[in-house]
C-alpha cells in the first residue's frame, strides 16, 4: 500500500461521533473509551448510549443495533448533538438505522466486510448503499475492519471469533487518530481489564495501535481534526454517568449526615446500574440488598429507615407501581425514604432501554388516599449527584418519602463533571430523639408516654426515635394515627386533621427551594419551561434563539412537587409558555391546574431525547 501524503490537522470547535453495530460488537465499550479519551483531552462532553432491549438480537438485524453517540467540544456542551459528524457503522444494519442522524456532508466509516448479500438481506436492504448512490451526500470511507483485524492477529493463537471481537478496538484507534485524541486511557483500561489474560490484552493493544496508525497510510484520510480543551472552572473533573452520580450523591448524603446507607433493590432496567455502583462503596458502610421482588425491596428500605438508617430504593415505572402501597406506608408512618424512579418508555414493559418522562403524574398522584410527597428531578448526569443529596436531606429533615425522577438517558449518559469539595455541600444535620422531654412526653405520676407525632414548629416533622431507645418506646403502622399520641384513631375529625397536616408538611418544603433562575431574555415574550433530561436541549435552543435576537427565556424545574414559590409570578410575566416533555403532556397539565396558564405542549414520545433543533423550530413557529 502506497504511503498517503502528509495529513492536515484542522482545528474545529466541536464534533459529534456515533459508533453503531451489533450488540456483540462492543459499541457501548468503544464509545465509553472514546469518551474517556475526550475527557482526558479536557473537552466538555455529553453522551447518548442507545441499545436494544434484547440481550442478543440476531446479528445483522436492525433491531439488534447498539449505538453510542458522543458530542464533545472546546466550549460548553449541553447535548449529545443534533446531527452526527462521523458515523462508524460496523455493518449494513447499523448504517440503515442511524443514517438519518448524520448531517449532509458528514463522514461515514463503513465496515466494508459487512455489506455482503447476506448482510443486506438481514438489514432488509434491496441494494448495497455503498454502491447504489444512496450515500452520495456523504463522505464515505470503506474500511475492511474485519479482515484487517484478522490479518493483524494472524500470528496469534486466538480463534476467529476472538479476533473478530477485537475489531471495535481498530475502529476506536482510527477514531482517536481522526480527532487527535490520546490512546493512553484505552491502553490503561486494557491492561487492567485483561491483566490475567495476556493474549487477549496484547491482541487488543495491537489492534488499537493498528487502527490509530491506519489513517496515516490511507489517502482517504487526508484530514484529521483537533478540538482544543474547553475553558472550565478550576477543579478536578471526571466523566460521570448519571447512575454513578446518583450513587455518589447517596453516599455523600450518608457520610455528611452520619447515617448508614441501606439500599434495597430488585434488578430492573435502567435502574440496576445504581445497585452495581453502590455495591462498590462498602468502605463507606453502604449496605446493598438485592431482594426477591420490588415490594420486598421497598419494604426493606422502610424497615431500615425505621431502624434509624438512610433507606433508599430505586426502580423504574413498573416497579413504582408495585411499591406504591409501601410508599404509602412510609407516608403514614412519616419515615424518611428516598425512591428513585429511572423512567423508561411504557406502558407495561414498553421500551425498557429507551428514555421517557411518563411517570410524573404517577410520582405525584399515584398512591391511594391522600399521600403527598416531594418530587425532584435532576437535569443532567452531573446534576444527579446534587439532586440525590438534596432528596436525602429533605427526606430526613421533613420525615417523609421523597421521589426522585431520573430516566434512562440521564442514567446511561455521561458528561464532564467537576468533583465537588465535600465541605461545600449543604449542611446535613440529623437529630434523633434520644431522651424524654416535656414536649415529647405526656402523663403524670411516673406514667409517662412518648408522643411520636408531636411536630416541629418549622417543618411539621415528627421526632425520629430509634427503636429500643430507653423511655421512647412507640408504635407506628399503616392505620391512621391520632394526632400527637400516634394511637390508632378512627375519629373523622382526627383523620381530616392528619391528612391536612401531612399535606401542609410537604408544602413547607418550598422553604428549601432557592429562587428560580431564568435564562435568556427575562423580559421576553416566550418562556420555555422544562424538567428532567430536557434541560440541555432547552438551554441550547434558548441560547441559539437569544443569539438570534429572539425574545425568549427559559427555566428548568428541579422541584416538581411542590413547585417553587416564585414560579407563578415568573409565568405571569410571559405571553407564551412552551413546555417540552418526553411524554404526552404531563407538566403542562400540572402548570395549567396550579397557575391557570395556557401552556403550549411540545411532546416527543419516541424513546429518544429532544434535540436542540426540535425545540428551536417550535420556538420559531410560536414567535411567527
User: What is the per-residue pLDDT across 303-321, written as a single tens digit (0 to 9) for each?
Assistant: 999 999 999 999 999 999 9
Q: What is the CA radius of gyration of the chain?
A: 27
At 155-203, the pLDDT tens digits run 999 999 999 999 999 999 999 999 999 999 999 999 999 999 999 999 9
At 337-355, the pLDDT tens digits run 999 999 999 999 999 999 9
Residue 501 binned pLDDT confidence (cut-offs 50, 70, 90):
very high
Q: Residues 226, 14: contact at Cβ < 8 Å? A: no
| Domain edge (last residue) among 193, 227, 261 | 227
Full DSSP string of 293-316: SHHHHHHHHHHHHHTTSEEEEEE-
Residue 1 binned pLDDT confidence (cut-offs 50, 70, 90):
very low
Q: Residues 502, 509: contact at Cβ < 8 Å? A: no
Same domain, 178 and 307: no
At 16-28, the pLDDT tens digits run 999 999 988 999 9
| Domain edge (last residue) among 395, 424, 453 | 424
**In the predicted structure, residue 293 carries a pLDDT above the cut 70:** yes
Same domain, 416 and 530: no
User: Quick one: pLDDT at residue 220?
Assistant: 83
d(CA 250, CA 105): 45
| Per-residue cell: 490 | 378512627
Report the chain's mean pLDDT, rounded to a whole number. Answer: 95
**In the predicted structure, residue 6 carries a pLDDT above the cut 80:** no
d(CA 78, CA 45): 8
Same domain, 93 and 218: yes
Residue 222 binned pLDDT confidence (cut-offs 50, 70, 90):
confident
Number of neighbouring beta carbons within 10 Å of residue 164: 18
At 604-616, the pLDDT tens digits run 999 999 999 999 9
**In the predicted structure, residue 444 carries a pLDDT above the cut 70:** no
DSSP-based three-state secondary structure for 168: helix
Q: Is the peptide bond before 347 cis (omega within 30 degrees of 0)?
A: yes
Residue 481 binned pLDDT confidence (cut-offs 50, 70, 90):
very high
| Per-residue cell: 576 | 407564551
Q: Residues 264, 311: contact at Cβ < 8 Å? A: yes
Same domain, 301 and 210: no
| Per-residue cell: 529 | 419551561
Q: Which domain holds residue 97?
A: 8-227
Task: Assign residue 561 the CATH number of its domain.
Answer: 3.40.50.920
Same domain, 542 and 609: yes
Task: Assign residue 112 the CATH number of its domain.
Answer: 3.40.920.10
d(CA 101, CA 559): 33
Same domain, 67 and 167: yes
- In angstroms, the Cα distances linking 201 to 86, 153, 186, 206 are 28, 12, 11, 9
Residue of 595, 250, 294 lying closest to 406 (CA atoms): 250
Whether the pTM exceeds 0.85: the reply is yes
Domain count, the chain: 3
Residue of 609, 531, 613 lying closest to 48 (CA atoms): 609
User: Quick one: pLDDT at residue 443?
Assistant: 74
Same domain, 163 and 244: no
Same domain, 390 and 532: no
User: Quick one: pLDDT at residue 5?
Assistant: 63
User: Quick one: pLDDT at residue 55?
Assistant: 73
Residue of 364, 426, 422, 420 lying closest to 393 (CA atoms): 426
| Domain edge (last residue) among 203, 227, 251 | 227
Same domain, 577 and 607: yes
Same domain, 205 and 314: no
In a domain, 179, yes or no: yes
User: Quick one: pLDDT at residue 373?
Assistant: 98
Task: Assign residue 279 the CATH number of its domain.
Answer: 3.40.50.970
d(CA 624, CA 619): 9
d(CA 498, CA 504): 10
HSE of 230, CA atoms in CB hemisphere, 13 A: 24
Query: How many residues in total does the chain contain?
Result: 624
At 569-600, the pLDDT tens digits run 999 999 999 999 999 999 999 999 999 999 99
Q: What is the mean pLDDT of residues 541-549?
A: 97
Look-up: residue for cell 465535600?
A: 422
DSSP-based three-state secondary structure for 556: strand
d(CA 432, CA 420): 28
User: Quick one: pLDDT at residue 438?
Assistant: 84
In a domain, 493, yes or no: no
DSSP-based three-state secondary structure for 124: coil
Amino acid at each position: 500500500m502506497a504511503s498517503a501524503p502528509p495529513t492536515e490537522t484542522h482545528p474545529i470547535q466541536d464534533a459529534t461521533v456515533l459508533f453503531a453495530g451489533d450488540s456483540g460488537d462492543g459499541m457501548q465499550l468503544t464509545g465509553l473509551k472514546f469518551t474517556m479519551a475526550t475527557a482526558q483531552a479536557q473537552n466538555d462532553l455529553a453522551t447518548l448510549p442507545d441499545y436494544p432491549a434484547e440481550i442478543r438480537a440476531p446479528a445483522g438485524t436492525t433491531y439488534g443495533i447498539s449505538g453510542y453517540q458522543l458530542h464533545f467540544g472546546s466550549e460548553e456542551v449541553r447535548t449529545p448533538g443534533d446531527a452526527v459528524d462521523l458515523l462508524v457503522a460496523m455493518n449494513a444494519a447499523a448504517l440503515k438505522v442511524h443514517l438519518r442522524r448524520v448531517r449532509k456532508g458528514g463522514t461515514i466509516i463503513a465496515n466494508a466486510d459487512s455489506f455482503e448479500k447476506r448482510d443486506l438481506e438481514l438489514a432488509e436492504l434491496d441494494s448495497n448503499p455503498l454502491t447504489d448512490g444512496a450515500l452520495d451526500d456523504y463522505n464515505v470511507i470503506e474500511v475492511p475492519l474485519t479482515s484487517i483485524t484478522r490479518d493483524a492477529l494472524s500470528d496469534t493463537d486466538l480463534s476467529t471469533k476472538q479476533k473478530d471481537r477485537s475489531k471495535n478496538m481498530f475502529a476506536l484507534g482510527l477514531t482517536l487518530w481522526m480527532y487527535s485524541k490520546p490512546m493512553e486511557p484505552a491502553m490503561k483500561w486494557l491492561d487492567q481489564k485483561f491483566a490475567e489474560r495476556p493474549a487477549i490484552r496484547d491482541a487488543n493493544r495491537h489492534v488499537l495501535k493498528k487502527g490509530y496508525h491506519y489513517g496515516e497510510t490511507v489517502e482517504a484520510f487526508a484530514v484529521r481534526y483537533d478540538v482544543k480543551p474547553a475553558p472550565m472552572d478550576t477543579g478536578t473533573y471526571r466523566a460521570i454517568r448519571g447512575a454513578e452520580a446518583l450513587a455518589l450523591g447517596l453516599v455523600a448524603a450518608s457520610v455528611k449526615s452520619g447515617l448508614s446507607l441501606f439500599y434495597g433493590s430488585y434488578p430492573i432496567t435502567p435502574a440496576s446500574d445504581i445497585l452495581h455502583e453502590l455495591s462498590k462503596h462498602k468502605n463507606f458502610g453502604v449496605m446493598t440488598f438485592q431482594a426477591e421482588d420490588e415490594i420486598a425491596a421497598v419494604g426493606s428500605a422502610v424497615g431500615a429507615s425505621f431502624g434509624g438508617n438512610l433507606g433508599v430504593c430505586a426502580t423504574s415505572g413498573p416497579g413504582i407501581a408495585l411499591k406504591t402501597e409501601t410508599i404509602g406506608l412510609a407516608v403514614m408512618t412519616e419515615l424518611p425514604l428516598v425512591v428513585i424512579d429511572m423512567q423508561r418508555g411504557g406502558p407495561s414493559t414498553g421500551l425498557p432501554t429507551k428514555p421517557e418522562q411518563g411517570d410524573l403524574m404517577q410520582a405525584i398522584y399515584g398512591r391511594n388516599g391522600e399521600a403527598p410527597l416531594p418530587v425532584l428531578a435532576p437535569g443532567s448526569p452531573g446534576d444527579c449527584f446534587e439532586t440525590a443529596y438534596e432528596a436525602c436531606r429533605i427526606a430526613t429533615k421533613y420525615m417523609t418519602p421523597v421521589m426522585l425522577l431520573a430516566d434512562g438517558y440521564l442514567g446511561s449518559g455521561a458528561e464532564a463533571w467537576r468533583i465537588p469539595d465535600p465541605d461545600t455541600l449543604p449542611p446535613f444535620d440529623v437529630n434523633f430523639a434520644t431522651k424524654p422531654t416535656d414536649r415529647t412526653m405526656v402523663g403524670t405520676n411516673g406514667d409517662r408516654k412518648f408522643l411520636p407525632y408531636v411536630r416541629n414548629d418549622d417543618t411539621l416533622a415528627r421526632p425520629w426515635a430509634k427503636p429500643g431507645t430507653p423511655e421512647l418506646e412507640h408504635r407506628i403502622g399503616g392505620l391512621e394515627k391520632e394526632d400527637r399520641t400516634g394511637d390508632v384513631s378512627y375519629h373523622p375529625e382526627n383523620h381530616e386533621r392528619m391528612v391536612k397536616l401531612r399535606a401542609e408538611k410537604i408544602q413547607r418544603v418550598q422553604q428549601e427551594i432557592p429562587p428560580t433562575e431564568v435564562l435568556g431574555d427575562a423580559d421576553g415574550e416566550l418562556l420555555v419551561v422544562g424538567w428532567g433530561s430536557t434541560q440541555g436541549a432547552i438551554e441550547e435552543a434558548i441560547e441559539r434563539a437569544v443569539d438570534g435576537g429572539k425574545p425568549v427565556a427559559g427555566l428548568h424545574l428541579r422541584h416538581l412537587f411542590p413547585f417553587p414559590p416564585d414560579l407563578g409570578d415568573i409565568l405571569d410575566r410571559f405571553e407564551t409558555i412552551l413546555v417540552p416533555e418526553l411524554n404526552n403532556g404531563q407538566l403542562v397539565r400540572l402548570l395549567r391546574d396550579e397557575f391557570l396558564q395556557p401552556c403550549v405542549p411540545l411532546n416527543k414520545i419516541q424513546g429518544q431525547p429532544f434535540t436542540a433543533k426540535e425545540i428551536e423550530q417550535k420556538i420559531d413557529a410560536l414567535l411567527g
